[in-house]
Each structure stands twice: as C-alpha cells, then as structure tokens.
Structure 1
C-alpha cells in the first residue's frame, strides 16, 4: 500500500520532529538519571523522580499521540454495527467435532499452493481449485490421498478465488485481480466477462454462483482494497462490498446490493429463489431474494468469520470459517484505535491478528446450525464442500486440500 504524497510529507515531518525531540529528551534524561539516590546532592532524589515523570510525558505520551495522528493512506477505521459486536452461543450447533485434524487426510501436498475454493464436477469426478500462483488445477481424488492426481489446467494470470460451473461445462472464475472469467470446458479459451459495474472497477472479485437460467451472481469483496490488502478492509470496518449479477445473453452487469461488509462467499438456493451471501467482519450470512430484491438475515453471530458457503444438494449449506472469535479480535472489532495500531504494524509485515480455530459449520435451509467441525490447531480454512461421505476443505494458508471422512469422524453431541 502506498502513502500519497501529502501523507508522506506530513509523516516525514512528524517523524523528524519526533526523532529530534526524542534525542533531546534522551540526552537530558541521561544526565538527570546519572544522579544517584545515594548521592550527597540534596537535589538527586527529586531529580530522579522528576526524570521518571519526564520520561513518561516526553516519550510514551507522544508515542500514543503519534498513533492517533498517524494515517495509512486513506485507511480510516470505523465503528462496526452493534449486532456485529454481540457474541452469543445461538449459532453453536448441537453436534460438534472439535478435533478436525484427527483423522484428516491431505491431498496434493506441495502441489496445491493455497487452494482457496473448490468446485466438484460430478460427471468427470474431478475437483477444480484455484491457487495463489494463478493456476486453476484439477484434482482426481482417489480412495488413497497419496494416489490422487493433480493437474495444472489453466493459469489465469491473476488470483483465482471462487469457482462454479456454467450451463455448458465452462468454468466460471472469480479472479481477485482480473474480474469475472469464463474458461471453456476444454481449457483452451479464457474470456473476461466483466470487471466493473456502474463505473467502479472491481478490486477483489471473490465468489460466484450460477443460476439455472445461466445468470452469474458474484461478489466484489471491496471496491477499495485489493487481494493483497484484504486485511485492511477487515480492519477498517467499512462496507466496501457489492453483490452483483452478470447476464451472459445481454452482457450486462447489475449491482444488486451495495454497502456490504467484505462480501464473501455466495450460494444459490436449491429452489432458485434466493442467494445466500456472507459478510466476513460482521460474522453474518444473509438471504437476497432475486425477484423481490429484498434482504433478510440467514444466520448471524457465527462462531467465527465466514468465507465461502456451499450447498451440498442434500438440504444443507456448509459455511467455512477461516478463524474463530478470539479475545484480540473482539477488542479490535470494538475499538477502532486498536485496529489502527494493528494496521500500522501490518503495513510493516507483522500480523497481530493471529487466526486460529478454523472450521466448517453445517446449517439447514433455514440457517439453523446442525454440526460444527473445527480445530484450535488449524487456521484459514476457506471452503468446505461435501462430496459423498467426505468433507473437502480449501485453504488460504496451506498447500493442500484437507479431507475428512464424516462417517468415521462425525460431529457428536456436546457434553
């Protein structure tokens, strides 16, 4: 992220002034501190106490003030909606498997570089996934994970995230940098469908779903921050996301909803009447009724921050949760100043918002929680797709797909 010229100049001036002031204070404090408490000088003890106070007022307070005044380009953290700060247990299901890694198998270890989303082609039995190196890869998952085959299929030249199949076998890709793409079923042709709406370019095309009528529904997580800056969108706490549609017949792009908080995963309902989409920072999934153009909450107060959502064809949605709710996240979401500090540190390559306790939440068609598969030892699970008896999970961190046998390792009633 670049600082604009005005911010660079003002920041440089503040830093120069602060450094000069600090050197002066340090020199003065060193001289004063050299006065020993055992000195015969009657002024030594008062000076020692004075020096400690002076240290606080001359260094610590200016440091806190500098945090308050510091600007990261146009980064300006805001207060989140009140309901996003409510942490209840209403979304905790009756069935839980809190040791997801126990019994987990791994597919394509070292061959799948951060496979964010998964799409399954029932006809060919192939799994498609998008990796951070730009490749859309195909995986033939066999009974033994070690025997599974990974194929480099098509490279988009960007960062493929959400995947879905079109009506004619084509693969629709939500590419974070490129926009909405169409890859022919033979992989020989990649076409850009759309990369802007209402004069605003997509910054982070995230997820896509296809209706039975061929219309494509997709999310642009943020019109302000791109994929490499996604954490700043979380931390800023402002609604930069959009839900949109693309009609392949008319070649038109429509904005269905604006002002969404990091619009993420999306799934079409089995009756084709509505979409379910996720807003990550506010831990909420909502329904968008296509014909009525209205919105209602599907599930909120999730046990973590949702990413992709997938329908399994059997009456259930599976919501991936890359990270659970931690004390640090709670505090940061409540106080914009803490998010500002975190963003400052993140700019220099340090991540204070450690992700942990990732999992996948199974809910019914009404949003009622059924089962939760998670583990405190894992993070950044970004999608959960049920294929037969297995749950397949993608990741933004790991170089493999996780697979869990749901029959061998089921979620059970909590004690």
Structure 2
C-alpha cells in the first residue's frame, strides 16, 4: 500500500509539473530584467531620524466616508483638503482639531478614478484621472473639462500625478501607456519602462512628452525655485530631477527602503515621499528574477495577489534628496501620499477608507540607536 500511494503521488505530481511547465511556456507575459542598480539598497537612503510605530498616536479622518483617498491636496485659502476616491468622487474635507469633527463633502464625480490632484493658478482643481486623462474642474465644481487624453497619438492608460507651475503649465505622469489602473501590478511585474512624464500648456493647449521609457512613472512635485520637477519611478525605487530648461535628468534619491508613490513639497524646504510597502524579502527576490515575476503574474490573473505589502510609510527629505526622517509601521500598508499641513502629516491610501493624520510634534522621529 505505501508503494501504491507513493506511485500515485509521483504520477500526479509529474502531471502537475508538466502542466505547469506547459502553462508557463504558453503564457505570453514576458518580464524583463530590471536595471541592476535598482535592486540595490543604499545606506545613504536611510535617514538619521526614525519613527517605526507610525500608527501609534495616529488619528483617522472620514472613516467609512473616504473610499481609498489616494492623493491629498490642501487648499490653504479655504482650509479644505481635496482627495480623489475609487468611486469617482473628488471629495472635500474640512478638518478641525478633533478628527471626529471632520466634515466630508461629495464634491464632483469624474466618472473615472481621480488620482493626482493639484490647484490651477486661477483656482481650478486639476485632476489626473486614471481613466479619463487630465481634467480641469472649475466654477466651484460646476464645470469639468477634459484637457488632454493623449500625447503623440498614444492614449493615456494610467494618468497618475500632476503638479502646476507658477506659469500655469501642468506637469503630469502617465504611469503606463500599456496597462490600465486595474492592471497596474502587471506593469510593475513586467519590469519594462512603459511610463511617461508630460506637460500641458493651457495657453497653447499643447501636450508634450518630456520623458519616455520610465518605470511606472508616479508622483511629481515642483521645486520651490520652479527650475525642475521631481518624479518617482515606483518599481526601481528612485526619484529623479527633470530640469525644465534643457531637459537634463539626474537622480534625486535612489535605493529607497520602499516603493515610492507620490511625492509632495511642504513649502518649508522638505519633500515627503510616500511608500505603500517596504522592500520585503519576497519583493526583493521577485523583482530580481523575471521568471518569479512571470509566475506571480500568472497567479494574479486568477484574482490572487501573492505580493504582500507591509511596513508602509513616508520619508522626509531635504531639497537635495538627503533623507531626514522616516515614519513607518510594519502593521500599516498602502500609504500613497504624505502631506504636511501645519504640525500634522496627512496620509492618503490606495486601500483604506480614511485619511490618516499624525501629530509630528507629539510623535516625532528619533535618532536611531
């Protein structure tokens, strides 16, 4: 009997193995090797100050009323926070001393998925909608205009983040011209540069491709002197500078401990880089080997997401990209934006139904022991 069981086990194991090999070879998903330097972690990207219990002391705003508030934009004159949710709503949030007193307003529904949010020079709200393109919402929400949805004859598949210069020109990313938002994990697993950095001039109505062949082009932020843009490439854990005059590109910070999403300037000499997950051992191995990414993608096609995200956080860096402080927590995931407003850090999310707020004076980062 033991021999019979062993024979059956061996037979079925062989069948499963052969079928798996056949499916692997027949699957057309074709991951590429990532740049070698993107797989390295640098001690220079680790800040001297650390708060590794990010959730301790955190408050939650709009619980149950904000469905995956991915980006956050603060309108200083009105004191309102604008955020885009997965149900298509751009919502306005009135925040008070007590998070429980916050008022959530359904403002405008784009009919798509609003991600990046910025303010135009005439009070408009500019939205990078993943499915619609770049939108202009004006007249206190009464008018929504499509500004652009393609460049060089190629439609945007995943309009992601946007920032507006003092002269009104908008700089934004199309994270992928190949995969849409609900397929974004395939873009990252594929390991090919399908992203673009672009500009839209509202005066000439011209959309320009500034950079192409970017690895999941994500968050963008304007430098305080208006000379360059900082943009993030998520899978290669790098943020770079793009100089507006001349188009020169240089690394701002790389080898990040997590995968960068949005980057925000706080008006006080610092950028805040949100990272939905740190580089776990599983992530490190998978990103290194294309065959593992192919297996992961094959599993994901059946609705199972094997790449677990953990230890999300936000890093504070100076104008030269030098790390200052890192706020993170192993228990937290999917932090997509960090915006400093007064003494508070407000965090958006791709998963949770609230905005998280942390008092930076009470729960500040400390020097590492």
| 3-state DSSP of counterpart to 2:364 | coil
2:267 to 285, 298, 313: 313
| 3-state DSSP of counterpart to 2:184 | helix
1:127 aligns with 2:94: no
Counterpart for residue 59 of structure 1? 15
Offset at residue 63 of structure 1 (A)? 3.4
2:50 to 86, 96, 99: 96
Offset at residue 260 of structure 1 (A)? 0.1
2:92 to 135, 138, 146: 138
Counterpart for residue 175 of structure 1? 129
Contact residue 285 and residue 297 of structure 1 kept, 8 A: yes
Unaligned regions of 5+ residues in structure 2, if any? none
1:154-212 deviations in whole A, cap 9, x for unaligned? 00000000000000110000000000000004110000000000000000000000011
Unaligned regions of 5+ residues in structure 1, if any? 1-35, 38-44
Offset at residue 89 of structure 1 (A)? 2.5
| 3-state DSSP of counterpart to 1:212 | coil
Offset at residue 88 of structure 1 (A)? 3.0
1:233-287 deviations in whole A, cap 9, x for unaligned? 0111100000000000000000000000000000000000000000000000000
Q: What is the rounded CA distance, in whole Å, between the counterparts of 1:52 and 1:169 in structure 2?
A: 69
| 3-state DSSP of counterpart to 1:207 | strand
1:71 aligns with 2:19: no
Counterpart for residue 386 of structure 1? 340
Q: What is the rounded CA distance, in whole Å, between the counterparts of 1:278 and 1:348 in structure 2?
A: 29
Contact residue 280 and residue 305 of structure 1 kept, 8 A: yes
Normalising by structure 1, we get a TM-score of 0.87
Q: What is the rounded CA distance, in whole Å, between the counterparts of 1:66 and 1:332 in structure 2?
A: 21
The total of aligned residue pairs comes to: 369
Offset at residue 294 of structure 1 (A)? 1.0
| 3-state DSSP of counterpart to 1:304 | coil
| 3-state DSSP of counterpart to 1:270 | coil
1:187 to 141, 164, 174: 141
1:299 aligns with 2:253: yes
Counterpart for residue 83 of structure 1? 37
Offset at residue 90 of structure 1 (A)? 2.1
Residue 133 to residue 168, structure 1, CA distance change in 2 (3 Å): same
Larger fraction in helix: 1
Counterpart for residue 9 of structure 1? none
Offset at residue 60 of structure 1 (A)? 4.3
Offset at residue 83 of structure 1 (A)? 0.6
Q: How does 1:139-178 map to 2 (within 5 A)?
A: 139-178=93-132
Offset at residue 66 of structure 1 (A)? 2.3
Q: What is the rounded CA distance, in whole Å, between the counterparts of 1:402 and 1:54 in structure 2?
A: 53
Normalising by structure 2, we get a TM-score of 0.97
Q: What is the rounded CA distance, in whole Å, between the counterparts of 1:386 and 1:255 in structure 2?
A: 30
Counterpart for residue 7 of structure 1? none
Q: How does 1:7-406 map to 2 (within 5 A)?
A: 36=1, 54-56=11-13, 58-71=14-27, 75-406=29-360
Q: What is the rounded CA distance, in whole Å, between the counterparts of 1:52 and 1:309 in structure 2?
A: 53
| 3-state DSSP of counterpart to 1:319 | strand
Residue 67 to residue 269, structure 1, CA distance change in 2 (3 Å): same
Give the root-mean-square deviation of aligned CA atoms.
1.4
